[in-house]
Amino acid sequence: MNGLYLIAHKVSGEPAFDVATQMECPLCHGAGCYECDDLGYWWIIPTSGHRAYPYHYWPWDELACDSGINECVFDPIPIQLGDMPHDLTDHYHTTAAPRKSLLAALGLTKPRPQPPIIRRI
């Protein structure tokens, strides 16, 4: 699974473009599972190593001219992009949960304050 793609994905709640590649799912090794949505691969942004969740993608080779400074060998495909799905997983998704104190997690209670010690000089 090589090759680069231009992807449209959700970053901090907003649509964004990035360059990504596909990586074989490390859980199912290409067979398809819940983690890869039965695709057999993950989308990875190679410059950061982060996982991406694109809602649209285009093969990089089909987007622009390969080299020829003034001439294109083929006609690049136009980018047509629909609306971003509302429930799309965010690139920087967080799983925020209510915080639980360490004392409560350990089943302990906070000790009562002790009266001050009066010292004689």
Q: How confident is the model over 70-116, as pLDDT tens digits?
A: 566 556 566 667 788 877 887 776 666 667 777 887 888 888 888 88
Domain assignment present for 61: yes
Q: Whole-angstrom Cα distance, residue 63 to residue 59?
A: 7
Domain that holds residue 48: 5-94
pLDDT of res. 97: 63
Domain assignment present for 51: yes
pTM for the complete prediction?
0.61
Per the structure, the count of domains in the chain is 1
Which tens digits make up the pLDDT trace of 19-50? 999 999 988 888 888 888 888 999 999 988 88
Domain assignment present for 28: yes
Residue 15, pLDDT > 90, answer no
HSE-up of 29 (CA within 13 Å, CB side)? Answer: 0
Domain assignment present for 121: no
Residue 68, pLDDT > 80, answer no
pLDDT of res. 93: 61
Domain assignment present for 67: yes
What is the distance of C-alpha 69 from the center of its chain?
A: 35
Question: What 3-state class would DSSP assign to 34?
Answer: coil
What are the backbone dihedrals phi and psi of residue 105, each rounded to the nearest 5 degrees, phi first? Answer: -65, -35
pLDDT of res. 64: 62
pLDDT of res. 84: 82
